[in-house]
Amino acid sequence: MKSILQPLILIGILTAALATASAQPADWPDFSKPHSDIPVHDPVMAKEGDTYYLFCTGMGVGVWSSPDLKQWVRLDPVFSEPPAWAKEAVPTFRGHIWAPDIYHHDGTYYLYYSISAFGKNTSAIGVASNKTLDPESPDFEWVDHGKVIQSYPGLTNWNAIDPNIVEAKDGTPYMSFGSFWGGLKIVELAPDLISLVEKEPEVLPTIASRKTDPDAPNPPAPGNNPVDAGGNAIEAPFIFRHGDYYYQFASIDYCCRGAESTYKMIVGRSKTVLGPYLDREGKRLDQGGGTILLEGDENWYGVGHNSAYTFDGTDYLVYHAYDASHERAIAKLRINKIAWTDDGWPTVGELVTPEEEGR
């Protein structure tokens, strides 16, 4: 989950005040019915055989499974005990793991996950692997490989959370990540997928930021945002290959505030994985650009931390949104099909809904 505000969820402080939703275009997706009633933050997915598996923020990393993207069953978390290395890296870590990503390569699933200290970029990304996601398989066993990358206050002007793995057209694996501070970063993974090519990076290329001037200091932190984080409110990169382009999705503004959440998704694209990524107006994402893909309304408040997939020839947008019908406006799972414009830009398409809506 989003680094600087996650503890609000841990202690259940989600404001109940109603937000005033801005008017949306006539063709905006219908948010009037929930995808399901499962509470999630930061959902990512993989499909093995006929089963979809969802991983999300939670104690030990939350896991769900579904045969159809509609009805879900909760499974045991990835970790029954906190990873041994994590306490040393982040002394305040208590087992609540944020913002995972799942990546399949050469018969092995790699789960990247985030740990962080509240309001600081004392953060790290770890990785575990498994031969299968099916807990009934005799080959099922999560093996933790420890830390991939860490950020340090005063040393790195980036935050090592929210990992996403993308494979370039030439087969080179990269990890994008980041939240607030200096924006979203990208780094090359070693072929083993559990370490970096650059072993101790301090300066990394920026692929997205809300700052129009990369050399300018971060804007001040608004509201109850920790001062250390600054006001560069962008996080959760996800790079999705489609056609000739890499599409970078990201979330801007503020999550985790219930009815006060202002979270929204942006997108840009590039013909190279390292960018620069440009929005529909030609503005660079690393200089404050980003086309709004989706934002909340009166039924679902802030929407964001999305992932994107192609399953059986159909593209999907997976994300969380804050349910206005719930007394605490908790975050729930949402899945839409992705539609593409004639000039190759993603739009939010048909909502995937349970067969029985319930409400």
- Reading across the β-sheet that carries 73-75, which strands appear in turn? 44-48, 51-56, 62-66, 73-75
Would you place residue 7 in the very low, low, confident or very high pLDDT band (cuts 50, 70, 90)?
A: very low
| Stronger pLDDT, 33 or 170, i.e. the higher one | 170
- Reading across the β-sheet that carries 331-340, which strands appear in turn? 300-311, 314-323, 331-340, 346-351
| pTM of the complete model | 0.89
Among 65-69, 106-110, 225-229, the range of highest mean pLDDT: 106-110
pLDDT at 222: 61
Q: How many residues does the chain have?
A: 359
pLDDT at 268 over 50: yes
The Cα 211–Cα 213 span in angstroms is 5
Q: Is 289 exposed, middle or buried (0-12, 13-18, 19+ CB in 10 A)?
A: buried
The Cα 45–Cα 50 span in angstroms is 13
The Cα 148–Cα 165 span in angstroms is 12
pLDDT at 14 over 80: no
* CB-based contact 278:259 (threshold 8 Å): no
pLDDT at 32 over 60: no
pLDDT at 174: 98
Closest CA to 118 of 147, 96, 142, 88: 96
- Mean pLDDT throughout 153-159? 91
Question: Picking from 8-12, 108-112, 322-326, which range would have the lowest pLDDT averaged per residue?
Answer: 8-12
| Stronger pLDDT, 164 or 330, i.e. the higher one | 164
Distance, first Cα to last Cα, the chain: 28
Element (DSSP H or E) covering residue 332: strand 331-340
Question: Picking from 153-157, 159-163, 340-344, which range would have the lowest pLDDT averaged per residue?
Answer: 153-157
pLDDT at 226: 60
Q: How many CA atoms lie within 13 A of 226 on its CB side?
A: 17
Would you place residue 36 in the very low, low, confident or very high pLDDT band (cuts 50, 70, 90)?
A: low
pLDDT at 354: 64
Question: Picking from 40-44, 100-104, 216-220, which range would have the lowest pLDDT averaged per residue?
Answer: 216-220
* CB-based contact 285:279 (threshold 8 Å): yes
pLDDT at 199: 80
What are the C-alpha distances in Å from 219 to residues 56, 90, 281?
A: 30, 26, 24
Phi, psi at 226, each rounded to 5°: -60, 140
Question: What is the largest distance, in Å, between two alpha-carbon atoms of the chain?
Answer: 54
Tokens of 241: 């290959």
Average pLDDT, the chain: 87
pLDDT at 259: 79
Cβ neighbour number for residue 80 with a 10 Å cutoff: 10
Residue numbers annotated as active site = 42, 235
pLDDT at 218: 72
The Cα 58–Cα 21 span in angstroms is 29
DSSP codes of every residue in 70-117: SS-EEE--S-SS--HHHHHHSTT--SEEEEEEEEEETTEEEEEEEEE-
| Stronger pLDDT, 323 or 18, i.e. the higher one | 323
pLDDT at 23: 38
pLDDT at 215: 78
pLDDT at 191 over 60: yes
